[in-house]
Amino acid sequence: MLVNKKILLCVTGGIAVYKAVALVSKLSQAGADVKVMMTESAQQFVTPLTFQAMSRNDVFYDTFDEKDSRVIAHIDLADWADLVVVAPATANVIGKLANGIADNMVTTTLLATTAKVWIAPAMNVHMYENKAVIRNINTLHADGYQFIEPSEGFLACGYVGKGRLEEPEKIVELIREHFTTQKNLPLVGKKVVITAGPTRERIDPVRYVSNFSSGKMGYAMAEAAAALGAETVLISGPVGLDKPTGMTVIDVESAADMLEAVQAQFADAHIVVKSAAVADYRPKHIHPEKMKKQVGDSVIELERTTDILKTMGDGKTRQILVGFAAETNNAVEYGKDKLARKNLDYIIVNDVTDPDAGFGKDTNVVTLLSKRGTHQHFEAMAKKRISEGII
């Protein structure tokens, strides 16, 4: 299961670096393509030449040492990896990553990658139990990083306790299980594009036309697709949500921005889920300066925006196209009309006046309609669970 898998091993400074050498050897023997990146401290324990010999690849340690002038090395490596493993991971690198600090090649690359990142800590038992380290680990857990817990035993410092880097054989087995599971996921090899959130249509430099969409449903759909192995692209309007990990996130503001982003991703997409609440109208004229209050009423002339969903329906070839319809009455009837009119494969309809549904809620109540005439109703439940069922 590791043949031709691209694994980037980030090695940071600790006595357990010697185990990282064995890890590279075992991964290479299992057929993986391993590239190693080292911090300056790691090089005090083992030289880059050792890792080069074991991996049969160049070893990277200087952000400004561009071995191939056609690419930016740390971005190229971040994009190249199927999986990134930080082993051993010191308290220092854990703290930097938890706080978004990028001051060397390892931390810069870790912030740039969209691949899954596994962190294998190794440190003194008291360091591992320090409140600051625990806080940083919890932050990274919440951000979607996976940890390979250290084992207990005799430590290089003389203490006995939890802090030993997990054995290379065990790490290789975990990686093998990961790729075995990934291969069996139903959306592996499929590209899923999901739009989420509202759009904003500017009136002047301080005002805009928008709606109440929170983006929660679209984000939940994107996470469900990624969990099933899809190459997921989330195109998000302005929302107050944390960016999900394990996918590409494209931020947009206006309906025109979203149309451009969707069109750029559409051709090679397998599934497109259009859950964003895109403005139907925008101000015809955008004032370059703030509009001042006047005596009496004011009129803002609006013009239609491009119907993104219909544009995609008219131009689709092999894509499965899924729309959303947020209604305040006759949701299913309006949904059926929209399904046919916009050449969709599925549409998800909900009544936003339902107390368990609507904008900003953590729950939803929806009905999934298909062009084949089938329908499935989802009673009130968390948007995460509904999204998993739909995907």
The band of 178, judged by pLDDT with boundaries at 50, 70 and 90, is: confident
pLDDT value of position 275:
94
- What is the per-residue pLDDT across 65-124, written as a single tens digit (0 to 9) for each? 888 878 888 898 999 999 999 999 999 999 999 999 999 999 999 999 988 899 999 998
Residue 33: is its pLDDT beyond 70? yes
Are 179 and 223 found together in one domain?
no
Question: Phi first, then psi: what are they for 135, rounded to 5°?
Answer: -60, -45
Are 178 and 195 found together in one domain?
no
The band of 154, judged by pLDDT with boundaries at 50, 70 and 90, is: low
Are 163 and 63 found together in one domain?
yes
The C-alpha atoms of residue 65 and residue 147 are separated, in whole angstroms, by 30
Residue 183: is its pLDDT beyond 80? no
Q: Mean per-residue pLDDT for 335-339? A: 92
- Domain count for the chain, please give it: 2
Would the CA dihedral through 138, 139, 143, 146 be positive or negative? negative
pLDDT value of position 70:
81
Are 20 and 145 found together in one domain?
yes
The reply to whether 1 falls in a domain is no
Residue 25: is its pLDDT beyond 80? yes
pLDDT value of position 323:
95
pLDDT value of position 41:
95
Mean pLDDT of the chain: 90
pLDDT value of position 49:
96
Are 36 and 149 found together in one domain?
yes
Are 211 and 348 found together in one domain?
yes
Residue 152: is its pLDDT beyond 80? no
10 has catalytic annotation: no
Residue 156: is its pLDDT beyond 70? no
Indicate which residue of 101, 127, 157, 381 is catalytic: 157
Are 209 and 83 found together in one domain?
no
Domain span at 171:
6-184
Q: Which ranges of the chain would DSSP assign to H, the alpha helix?
A: 17-29, 48-55, 73-80, 91-98, 105-112, 125-128, 131-142, 168-184, 216-227, 255-266, 308-315, 331-341, 383-390
pLDDT value of position 360:
80
**Is pLDDT larger for residue 21 or for residue 158?**
21
Alpha-carbon dihedral 292, 298, 301, 307, rounded to 10 degrees: 90
Instruction: Give pTM, 2 decimals.
Output: 0.59
- What is the per-residue pLDDT across 288-326, written as a single tens digit (0 to 9) for each? 999 998 888 989 999 999 999 999 999 999 999 999 998
Are 160 and 209 found together in one domain?
no
Q: Are 218 and 252 in contact (CB under 8 A)?
A: no
Are 132 and 196 found together in one domain?
no
CATH of the domain at 269: 3.40.50.10300
Residue 232: is its pLDDT beyond 80? yes
**Segment among 8-17, 157-166, 173-182, 277-286 with least mean pLDDT:** 157-166
Are 180 and 196 found together in one domain?
no
Q: Mean per-residue pLDDT for 48-60? A: 95
Are 48 and 143 found together in one domain?
yes
Q: Mean per-residue pLDDT for 369-385? A: 90
CATH of the domain at 173: 3.40.50.1950
Residue 45: is its pLDDT beyond 80? yes
Of 150, 184, 218, the residue that ends a domain is: 184
How many other CB atoms are there within 10 angstroms of residue 67's CB atom? 10
